[in-house]
Structure 1
Amino acid sequence: MSCTHVAELPTEPASDSVNECAECLAEGSRGWVHLRKCLTCGHVACCDSSPYQHATAHHRSTGHPVMRSHEPGEDWRWCFLDNRIV
C-alpha cells in the first residue's frame, strides 16, 4: 500500500527555523535530539527521541500528515497517518 499523503502535499514550504525547536526554546530547553520539518507548513520541531516530541505534537494539533528530517544530509520523510517512512 502506498502513501497518498505525499502526493497531496503543497510545494515544500520554507522552514520556520533553521536549526532550533521554537517550542523547546520557549520552555527553556535546548535538549532536542534531532529536528523534523512539517511538509505542509514548514514548522520545524524536535523528534520523538527528544524529551518533548514537538514534531509529533504538531501533527496531533494540526493534522498535517508528513514531515521530513531537518538534519544535514538526510531527506527521508515520515507519514504520521500511514505510520511509515515514505
Structure 2
Amino acid sequence: MDLVASDVQNLRKLQAGRITLWATGKYLGAALIAREKAVHLKLLLTFNTTSLYLACNRELADNTVHLLNNQLRGMQKDGTVAKISARYLHD
C-alpha cells in the first residue's frame, strides 16, 4: 500500500507502471480518468458497494421529505438515475 495526498496521484502511478492496481470510488475514479484523459484502463472488480443518502434538517416538513423520496423513486423507475450515472461513468 502506498498512501498519497490525492487520488489522482494513484491514477498517475498506475499509468506510469509504478503500481498495478488502483482502488477508488466509482464516480471519483471515472471523473479522474476523464479529466486525466487516461486510456487502456480496465475495471477489474467491485469489492464494496455503499448507498448514498440525502440528509435533511429535522425542521423540514414531512411532506417535503415524502415528495423528495417519491421524485427519486420516479427517477429510478423512468431511467433518469441510470442516464445521469452513465453520463459520469462513461460505461
Query: What is the TM-score normalised by the length of structure 2?
Result: 0.24
- Structure with the bigger RCO (C-alpha within 8 Å, sep 6+) is 2
Please state which structure has a larger fraction of its residues in helix: 2
Find the structure with the greater CA-based Rg.
2
Choose between structure 1 and 2: higher strand proportion: 1
Q: Report the TM-score, using the length of structure 1 for normalisation.
A: 0.25
